[in-house]
Structure formats: C-alpha cells, structure tokens
Structure 1
Amino acid sequence: MTLFDRVADLPLTIESISRDRFESDTSSGFLRKTTVFELSGKGETGRGEDVTYDAADHDALAKTPANVFDIVGSYDSFATFSAALDGVDLFPTKVPEQDSSHHYRRWALESAALDLALRQNDTNLASAVGRERDPVRFVVSTRLGDPPSADRVEMLLERDPDCEFKLDPTSDWDADLVSALADHGCVRILDLKGQYEGTSVDQDPDPELYERIVTGFSDAVLEDPAFTDETRPIFDGEEDRVSWDAPITGVESVESLPFEPSRLNIKPSRFGTVESLFATIEYAEERGMSLYGGGQFELDVGRDHIQLLASVFYPDGPNDVAPQGYNLPDPPKGLPQSPLTPSDSPSGLDF
C-alpha cells in the first residue's frame, strides 16, 4: 500500500468554502500576500494556504465570489475529490503571473480537503499513513541585505548560539564575508538560486561565486546550482552535496536531473497534488535520498503543514520550516528554538 493509498479512500463532505487573506513584510524586503482556503462540512473545517508569490493573483482572487470553485458536495473518497479538481479552473478571472502558481493554488485546495477529510474521519496525517510525528530540526532562511553582511546571522546567534541557517549567496558575497560566515560553523544550506528564471531572486551562474562557496563551506548543502561549461567542473567530487529545490515537482522531475541526487528539498506546494508529493517522497526514500522541507514565506496554516510533513517524513533534515517570526524584518526575541515539538492530540494536518 502506497502512502497515497492510505489517505485516498477517506470520504469527505464539503458544505461551504471561504477564504482569508494575509500579508506581512518579510526579511527579504517584499510584502508577502497569501490566501487561505477554508472548506467546512459536518462540523469540521479544513484549511490550506495558497502561497502564490504574485500579489496581483491574490488581489484578483479576492474580487471573485467565495464559491467561484464548484467543489461543494459529498465525495466518496479524497481521491475522487482530487480527480474532480482536474476540471476546475483555479484562475478564473486572470492568467497567473507564473505557471507554478497553478500548483500552488491546487495544493491549497488539496491540503484543505485532506485536512477536512482527516478531521471528518477522526484521525490525523501521521496515524493515517502509519508513521510518527517527531521533533523537527529547523534552519533559519534569511538574506543578508544590500550590501550583504553577517549582521543578521550574528544577531540571531546571539539569541540562540545553536541556530542553523540556510543562506542565499549572491555575486557580491566577497571572500571576507564567506570566511566570516564559515567561521561561525552554522551554515547548513547555501541556495544558489540558479534554477529560477524571471523572479526577483534570480542568481546567474557565477563561476567565481560558486568557487568561493564550494571551497569556503566544506560541508554545507549546495542547493540549485546552474550548470554551465564553466560551472559544472566546480562540483566534480561534490555531487553528494548538491540538492535540488525549484525543479522538483514530481517523480519525473527527479528522474530528469543531471545525475541521481543524494538530497532533495521538498516544498509540498510545488507538487500541486497530495498524490504527487507522496509518490516523490516514496521514490526518494526507496533510493536512500536525504530529504528536508522548504518554506515559502507562509503566513498562516501553510507553515503548520510544512512543519507537520517534516515531522512525519524527514524530521532530522535541515528543514527550512522555522516559525514565521524568523521571517520578519525584525524578529522578536524569545522565538521557539530548534527542534520544534509536535503538539498533543493532533487532528487533521495539525503539527
């Protein structure tokens, strides 16, 4: 029985649908907007967060009726509900700014429906798939400003000397900054952003930057490099440190990578469907790949969901699932420290 088989047969009833909007400034210097879907029925409510990045897509959705998606009804199984979404136009009033947004909104509805189905059947995700919820190790993902400095990292280390980080190197990281960060011994993932196109965080494949990063951080995970004739040789012998994030949307995307990976960053919204997410996790586990979770500046229940998935499937990885407060421009003192402890008596997709 596959992971998806364990939840596929859960019946669910959707009696109403509603939405909430959230927004917050972020440490990366942009105003984040998200939309949370609430599906209710039989006295229970399931929630899922649309992490589409473009504010205009959330603004357009806010102008449409709550019931614009025709999904109210009773379904004999979660699998039936998921199949029904194949015929639903998730962007009925405007084409999304990015194609990936189709998956993001699909995941919001699928996660809300799975949350509801689990609650209506008096169970939770870990119990349904036959696994445990373990404490979750997390890293803090942050950018270092313009011009970049180690100040933010050092501020967080003063509050928690055991804090670990996922950082986004840019071409203006010089040798002194790399050395200063490496000396702290706290950087676990370096996201090279080489797989993004047309976004505000694109980083061109820079051989000099890659060389500084690969040699300067001898044991950190190297995420999403862009391979060119000049950059590929820099990773010779370092392939087991290379991880992939942005390209990973399902099993086929893993199979199409330049080489079989040792590591993957799992961001559930990139997969769109629960079935694709679970199939990819199983595929990776069968091949001994190390997994860790990734965040997308979730502002509400989506953060809880990625923490839960990490807890159930990859609790010991360098999970980019830190509590939301770490994403604020000025993080408050007293934030939870790693590892995060699961709550008692969970229901649905509660962490």
Structure 2
Amino acid sequence: MSDLFDAVVDLPLSIESTDRTRRDRDTSSGFVRTTTTFHLSGAGHTGRGEDVAYDTEDHDALADAPAFDFAGEYTFASFSAHLDDVDLFPTKSPERETARHYRRWAVESAALDLALRQNDLSLAEAVDRDPAPLRFVVSTRLGDPPTPDRLDAILDAYPDTEFKLDPTAEWTAEVVEAVAATDAVRILDLKGLYEGTQVDTEPDPDLYGRLLDAFPEAVIEDPGLTSETRPLFDGEEGRVSWDYPITGVESVEARPFEPEWLNIKPSRFGTVESLFETIEWAEARGVSLYGGGQFELGVGRDHIQLLASLFYPDGPNDVAPAGYNDPDVQSGLPRSPLDAPENSSGLSWE
C-alpha cells in the first residue's frame, strides 16, 4: 500500500443517500459531451464525483437505473473494497470496457470527497502536500480540413497559451510548418494506441518523422510503435509519454521502455489506490507527470486540477478551464498558471 493511500485509508465514511445529475455540452472537437455526477451524502455533507464515460448511451442507461444503495458506515478503504462487488452498470454493459474505470472513479472520488469533508480535512492536508500554481495547456483540434486558424484565434486572445494537439494524417507540410511556427506546442498526442474510438489514428511513419523534426522540444504522446515507426524513436525515447494504456503501475511497467513522461488521467485508474500508487512509483523514479482531462463538465474538472496542483503543478497539464473547450473562443478566461487553490475541504478547488 502506498503512503499516499495510507493517508486516507482509515478515514471514517458515513453514507445516508445518493443522487445523480447529468450534464450535456457542445465542445470544440465537434461532439456533444455528456457526463453524470454522483452525489453521496451523509452527516450533513455531500461528496461529488463525475463519470466521464464517452458514450452517451452509457449515461442514458444510467438515467433509467435505480439509485445505488451505498448507505452504511465504512472506512474509505472498506467502501472501496465494497465497490469491487457492485455492478455499476446494472441495466446494460458499457459500450466500452474503459467506462468501467471511469464510473468507478466517479463513485470513489465522490466517496473520498465526502470522507474528507466529514473529517474536516482537505486532500492537501490529508496527504501533506501544498497546492501550487497550476500550469495548463489547451487541448484542441484543428478542424476538417485542418488549419491553424483556431490556434491563431486563441493566441490572439491569450498570447502565452501553450497547446496539446492531436496530429492526423490530414496535417499537410504547410499545416505542420504553420503550427510549429507558433512555438506554443508542448505535447503532440498521436493517439496511436486507441482502439474502437472515433479518434483512432493509424501509425504513420511519414507523419511521425515530420513531427519529430518540426517539433524537437515537444513531448510525443501515445505513438503506435511498429516495425516502421519504432526506429524513428531511437534516441528519442525520452520524449515519449503514455496515456491511453495507463491504468496503474503494472500498465506502466508493461510499456516497451521505462517512460520519462506519463499523462495522469485519474479516471483511467478507477481506484484512488491505483492512482496514488502510480504517482509514487513515478516520483521515486524521476518520471515527469502531467495531468490529463476528459472534457469534464462539472466537479471532475476541479478534481483533476486539484490533483495536478498537488502532485505535478509544473507539468504541461491538459486541465485547462472548461471555457477553452467551447466551440468559440471566449473572452475573460483564466490564464496559465492558475493561482494555487485554497482546497479548504474535500476535493474542492476553493
């Protein structure tokens, strides 16, 4: 068991009732995002966690399901163990197996939020870490056909913005040159490991080569390593980061070489214990971490920002405020870095 998890494992937790709310919102990536927030209440407090499953069908099915009966007296660890035997998809199986971790994280993070509040603690106090100002990057796509127009619009409004971009085979040499000229790209997410999603991207040695040359300082996330693409990364392994397959320490150790970068998306881990173990594994080995987002619409964004502020505040964190995901560039958005949160109780940002 990790020291971080030890800090919360014995927190008493009393649950009296549960509730759920749903959110829907248009995004800059051209789809309607749906999430469901779990509310766990007891002893005059409420803890919240957000289910970020990508398939709207999973949220539709949950809307028709009866409330989960979590009522009882627990420690945080015993509640987590209790969830091992709870079917969180009671009306149908999820569209994708990854959604099981997303929903488990929603319930566990709600329970941790509640346990901390009931014990008059913030996460910062519990794990003995000080919140720090939070650097963030903006994740966006370049449209179809891709152009640098959206980057230019964001940079016009917020000149110091840094970006995490998802290159595709449609990126022409001219697009690559124009994007590189901004000198604002910190992460290129190749999405070469995704399977069965709308963003699956086949490994492309020509594209990979152009990107490695044009963005010599950028972190390269989730390359698909094939007999054609693997040689491109000889000597470049220190720039490679992993995201999609990372669900815990075992998944990190299964990578083709020990990473120097990891994208930490809490919902991918499912449990608080797995998340904390992986953070400690990385810290012990000097692995650079940065937070990842999943188009959270509610409290989940506070949670990923808080975790980043406590554990990897200086990384190129893909946890920008929600307004950066809107189809149109908004005025008056917070700039990076965000001021350090107060985190006065639970998993709250303020």
Q: Do the two structures share a fold, i.e. TM-score over 0.5?
A: yes
**Which residue matches 2:306?**
308
**Which residue matches 2:116?**
118
**Which residue matches 2:152?**
154
1:289 aligns with 2:287: yes
TM-score (norm 1): 0.98
Question: Aligned AA for 1:39?
Answer: L
Superposition CA RMSD, Å: 0.8
Secondary structure of residue in 2 paired with 1:194 = coil
- Per-residue CA deviations over 1:222-273 (Å, capped at 9, x if unaligned) read 0000000000011111100000000000000000000000000000000000
Unmatched runs of 5 consecutive residues or more in structure 1 = none
Q: Trace 1:111-190 onto structure 2 (pairs within 5 A).
A: 111-190=109-188
**Which residue matches 1:73?**
72
- Per-residue CA deviations over 1:160-179 (Å, capped at 9, x if unaligned) read 11000000000010111111
Which whole-Å CA distance do the structure 2 matches of 1:14 and 1:35 have between them?
Answer: 19
**Which residue matches 2:247?**
249
Question: Aligned AA for 1:182?
Answer: A
- Distance apart, 1:331 and its partner CA: 2.8
**Which residue matches 1:23?**
24
State whether residues 116 and 348 of structure 1, in contact with CA within 8 Å, keep that contact through their aligned partners in structure 2. Answer: yes
- Distance apart, 1:345 and its partner CA: 5.6
Question: Aligned AA for 2:27?
Answer: T
- Per-residue CA deviations over 1:172-214 (Å, capped at 9, x if unaligned) read 1011111111111100000000010110001100111101111
Distance verdict in 2 for CA 1:221–1:299, change over 3 Å: same
Runs of 4+ in 1 over 4 A off after TM superposition: none
Unmatched runs of 5 consecutive residues or more in structure 2 = none
State whether residues 103 and 269 of structure 1, in contact with CA within 8 Å, keep that contact through their aligned partners in structure 2. Answer: yes
Which whole-Å CA distance do the structure 1 matches of 2:276 and 2:199 have between them?
Answer: 28
Which whole-Å CA distance do the structure 2 matches of 1:150 and 1:128 have between them?
Answer: 44
**Which residue matches 2:224?**
226
Which whole-Å CA distance do the structure 2 matches of 1:350 and 1:160 have between them?
Answer: 26
State whether residues 126 and 312 of structure 1, in contact with CA within 8 Å, keep that contact through their aligned partners in structure 2. Answer: yes
- Per-residue CA deviations over 1:45-78 (Å, capped at 9, x if unaligned) read 0000000000000000001122xx2311111x10
Secondary structure of residue in 1 paired with 2:228 = coil
Which whole-Å CA distance do the structure 2 matches of 1:342 and 1:217 have between them?
Answer: 30
Secondary structure of residue in 2 paired with 1:172 = coil
State whether residues 295 and 321 of structure 1, in contact with CA within 8 Å, keep that contact through their aligned partners in structure 2. Answer: yes
State whether residues 70 and 88 of structure 1, in contact with CA within 8 Å, keep that contact through their aligned partners in structure 2. Answer: no
Which whole-Å CA distance do the structure 1 matches of 2:57 and 2:180 have between them?
Answer: 39
**Which residue matches 2:5?**
4
Which whole-Å CA distance do the structure 2 matches of 1:29 and 1:55 have between them?
Answer: 14
Identical amino acids, percent of aligned pairs: 69
**Which residue matches 1:52?**
53
- Distance apart, 1:343 and its partner CA: 3.5
